[in-house]
Amino acid sequence: MPTEKEVLASLRRRLPELLPTLQVAVERPSRGAPWDLVLKVRSAGRTRRLICEVKSVGEPRYLAQAITSLTLAVRKDPRLYPVIIAPYISPEGRRLCREAGVGYLDLAGNVFLRFDGILVDRMSAEPPARAKARLRRLFAPRSSRILRVLLEQPKAEWTLARLAEEAAISLRTAHLVVNALEEKAFVDKRRGAIKLQKPGEILDLWAQNYSLEMHRQHTFYTFVRNSAQLAAKLTAHAVTHKEAVGFTLHSGAAFVAPFVRSPDVHAYFVGDRERLVKALDLRPVESGGTVHLLEPYDEGVFYRVQTIRGVRVVCNAQLYLDLINYPARGREQAEVLRRAKLGY
């Protein structure tokens, strides 16, 4: 991670590239000024000074204090315009800046400036590799167990130990995930309690970084024409043999917030698959089958499985994730589920 001095040095070299349409000169801040840099911008015969604070990390947790100090300075002198500079400012950080009326500029190419009729609004096509790696770690199989716990109980307050126990992960993993969430302002850790913030935003971010294809699928043909009846039989078999099962996609939503009808049955299953196939007389097929057994990438998918009319269905957060990018009318069903059951 570059230091603030390294970010500042890199910015000086790359200013013509980052702000090609503006005439920009770099000025030293006056002695005692709380900001790190002043950019003097000329456009259409007018001059404006941009007071800039440099941060080494562009997540909301690290930007909040800078935003406060810059906005206070601008209130005292409205001729100034506040800007935050960082190696990379995350989407959450960029949203925070915009909401506060603060400009931003990062070395990845994300720029937002708006003053005196000037608007520069540019977004980089790809986040840096480091930022993508941090997101992958946040949504990794075991890490994502924390997200299910928080999203399924969005108003609860947790200690780190209780949260780790509920998610069935180590205290160290829970600590790392909670810190990553705090950086993005998705959890509040004040007063010694961990509480979820902005559940809708974290669900959306997770959906963008989630794929049903992470789970291995086995497809079968069945002679049972009633999908609800088949789901009840499959659940009963799994319960009898103490195996894990959870229906998802349209076959799960049919029991929670029905909207789209589908002949296909999808269920996460961990157990003796051969015994299940034989008991339900399922026939393996390459294509055209309507029964799909999913090997989960992590058993966290079974967190808070709900039993409805004798059928076990994955929790609503997991159901939403599976549906939202599913091509066969998944988004429609996901939106109905979100309004009816999630509430965020």
The DSSP string of 147-158 is HHHHHHSTT-EE
Instruction: Name the residue type at position 267.
Output: A
| pLDDT the model gives residue 69 | 93
For the chain, domain boundaries: 4-122, 129-208, 212-342
Q: Is 201 left (phi over 0), alpha (psi -120 to 50) or beta?
A: alpha
The pLDDT confidence band at residue 8, using thresholds 50, 70 and 90, is confident
Domain 129-208 has CATH 1.10.10.10: yes
| pLDDT the model gives residue 28 | 82
What is the chain's alpha carbon radius of gyration, rounded to the nearest angstrom?
Answer: 25
**Residue range 216-225: average pLDDT?**
94
Element (H, E) at 115: strand 111-115
Instruction: Name the residue type at position 341.
Output: K
Grouping H, G, I as helix, E, B as strand and the rest as coil, residue 132 is helix
For the chain, what percent of residues have pLDDT higher than 70?
100
- Whether pLDDT at 200 is above 90: yes
| pLDDT the model gives residue 42 | 84
**Residue range 46-50: average pLDDT?**
90
Scan for tokens 């996460």, then name that residue.
Answer: 268
The pLDDT confidence band at residue 333, using thresholds 50, 70 and 90, is very high
CA of 33: how far to CAs of 28, 51, 201, 221, 336, in Å?
10, 10, 35, 72, 52
The pLDDT confidence band at residue 326, using thresholds 50, 70 and 90, is very high
For the chain, what percent of residues have pLDDT higher than 90?
82
CATH architecture of the region 4-122:
3-Layer(aba) Sandwich (3.40)
**Residue 168: CA count within 13 A, CB half-sphere:** 11
**Residue range 19-41: average pLDDT?**
88
Q: Report the chain's mean pLDDT, rounded to a whole number.
A: 93
Given a contact cutoff of 8 angstroms between Cβ atoms, the answer to whether 330 and 323 are in contact is: yes
The DSSP string of 222-253 is -S---HHHHHHHHHHHHHHTT-EEEEEHHHHH
Nearest to 146 by CA among 110, 201, 186: 186
- Alpha helix (H) residue ranges in 120-170: 129-138, 144-152, 160-167
- Would the pTM count as exceeding 0.75? yes
**Residue range 6-33: average pLDDT?**
88
The pLDDT confidence band at residue 88, using thresholds 50, 70 and 90, is very high
At the topology level of CATH, where does 212-342 sit?
A: Beta Polymerase; domain 2 (3.30.460)
